[in-house]
A and B are shown apart, each in its own frame.
Chain A
Amino acid sequence: MFGFSTLELEALQISLKVALWSVTWSFPLALGTAWLLARKEFRGKAVLNAVIHVPLVVPPVVIGYLLLVLLGRQGIVGAWLNDWFDVGLVFTWQGAAIAASVVAFPLFVRPIRQALEGVDPRLEEAAVTLGADRRQAFFAVTLPIVMPGIISGALLFFARALGEFGATITFAANIPGETQTLPLALYTATQTPGGDTIAMRLVLLSLVLALAALLASEWLSRRSYFQLRGH
């Protein structure tokens, strides 16, 4: 297809798989975390907030190494997962997805949290007097209002997950056909003599993907903006 090699298409496929899978399972976590931070007062809130934001301020390699310590075969949680469920995450695309998710997570939480803080919680109170229980009130009133924040968080997260390099290569390694995402393939190509053409094609592929994601999110947030305005 368009002269792309199997290896390049595989890298594209792995990148998409890793990023989409990360968005999907991170969404409920990000929403829950944003809600806790925006609406609830509890002990350790400042600590939780700091822990979530750590990946923004440390080199991704540090995150990758911490994941290795935590989830590796000999890791604290990893050994247990391995013994009881026969699950290994190191050197798998799921591992790459976990690395990408942890690094990109704060970018998902922040816009949702900010959007939630802009919603008057008394609107939910009004919904309750109209017969909605607390959960229904959140999903029928607050969630649609914060949808632009969710979309912008999802896009930032998706883009960051797509470009994740340091944590991924440290935790999941650079295995063609399994954990080699576009950036890892690009890195390999630049390190290979005569890999310039391949590198350029991977760069174009990355650009097209990023543009497509931007356009899609723009379209989605316009749609939800108009819905929000009641048009």
Chain B
Amino acid sequence: MLTIEAGHRFVDGTNVFRLDASLNTPDKGVTAIFGRSGSGKTTMLKIVAGLLRPDFVKVQVGDAVLCDTQHGAWVPPEKRRIGYVFQDTRLFPHLNVKNNLIFGRRFNPPSDNQALSFDAIVNLLDLGSLLDRPIHHLSGGESQRVAIGRALLANPRLLLLDEPLAALDSERKAEILPYLEGLRHSLDLPILYVSHSLSEIRRLATWLAVLDDGQIKAFGTVEDITGAMDLSPLTDDGDTGTVLAATVTEHVATHGLTKLAAAGQTLLVTKLNLPPGAHVRVQVRPQDVALALERPEKLSVLNILEGSIKSIVESPGRPVVDVQVNIGSAKRPVHLWAQITRLASERLGLQIDMPVYALIKAVSLDKDRVGLS
């Protein structure tokens, strides 16, 4: 179990920011911390790492209490063994890749129970050909891989990743995501992953904590939280939606499509290279979902899911409304968010509990939105 409790008041000129966050996560797997910039994500990581000393804090990883202001416990940051991967990598410019990687060794000699050796980490992150390179000869993606390797080689008990992909373009992101997915499976330690991109979170995280204005607003599995909460007001770039758990049922080879079962209904997506029975996650962006009151005929949209309206979120002055639709059963609800204009909502006269059909184009569910869980 990883326990984080932190309270602090930051005063910067006339701005006062209050962080009052509390989080308990399992001791394995990736927990994403989601929130817009300025919500306190990085502050929280710095507090966990001991780089900030707030008014009140308790951090416990497994049995190790790293700080607890109530009992006067404080382990200095250099003794915490918390790997920190910064958004701007912060590689040491006077050292080559290899010496950056082994920097932490001087201070944390490798222990017998260390899960991953130097060679294993070099293989995992594919750094073999980079070892002798000076770091100013690395691309953005390569630098970030080296930074991750450097953090792991310091033998951490917890890994913090602070938007490691935010500074990269989409091509570099696509290059580094598979490595992060690989880490998730090979590492036996808890990982906190700060991000404001749901597509990254869908691929990497099991758990999701939503941070808004210094407070943890929700915590749970990615599927539960994205279904229960409308995330779109909490991000700046619009990469949100609902993550649905689904299973591959069959391939429609003649048309290059794959059939999935999700929430007891059928979902057609563009072809996946996965065998039937594989568990996948589908990210459905709210702007890709349309609503209809009757089952439409003669329509190009392939996915027509039956459901009923659970809630409608509107705010004054906003031209769009977010509609939460239960596409599961009453007993086992599965929620899907649809974003439609307020005009459309008024014309349809949408109300809570009204039966509706959620329409999702299959082409919007391509390989960037669907992947192994």
Give the B-binding residues of A (Cβ under 8 A). Answer: 120, 122-123, 125-133, 136, 140-141, 144-145, 227-231
Contacts and interface: CB of A to CB of B under 8 A. Distances in A.
Contact of A130 (B88, B94, B97, B154): B154
A140 B103 CA distance: 9
Contacts of B97: 230
Contacts of A140: 103, 106
A133 B78 contact: yes
Interface string B76-95: 11110111101010101111
Q: Which 4 A-B pairs have the closest CB atoms?
A: A131-B107, A230-B134, A230-B96, A130-B104
Interface string B87-119: 010101111110100011011100000000000
Nearest to B147: A126
Interface residues of B, number: 32
A1 to B, nearest CB: 42
Contacts of B274: none
Given A129-B51, A133-B78, A229 B136 contact: yes
Contact of B90 (A123, A132, A133, A136): A123
B134 A130 contact: no
B77 A128 contact: yes
12 contacts: A127-B103, A128-B51, A128-B77, A130-B108, A130-B151, A131-B79, A136-B78, A228-B93, A229-B94, A229-B134, A230-B94, A230-B136
- Per DSSP, are chain B's interface residues mostly helix, strand or loop, or mixed? mixed
Contact of A230 (B76, B83, B95, B103): B95
A103 B94 CA distance: 33
Contact of A227 (B49, B82, B94): B94
Contacts of B96: 230-231
- Per DSSP, are chain A's interface residues mostly helix, strand or loop, or mixed? helix
A35 B331 CA distance: 66
Interface string B188-224: 0000000000000000000000000000000000000
B135 interface: yes
A141 B107 contact: no
A230 B86 contact: no
A128 B83 CA distance: 10
Nearest to B76: A133
B150 interface: yes
B203 to A, nearest CB: 25
Contacts of B76: 133
Given A125-B90, A227-B94, A130 B107 contact: yes
Given A129-B49, A130-B107, A131-B106, 14 more contacts: A123-B90, A126-B84, A127-B92, A129-B51, A130-B104, A131-B78, A131-B104, A132-B106, A136-B107, A145-B92, A145-B93, A229-B94, A229-B136, A230-B95
A127 B103 CA distance: 8
A84 to B, nearest CB: 41
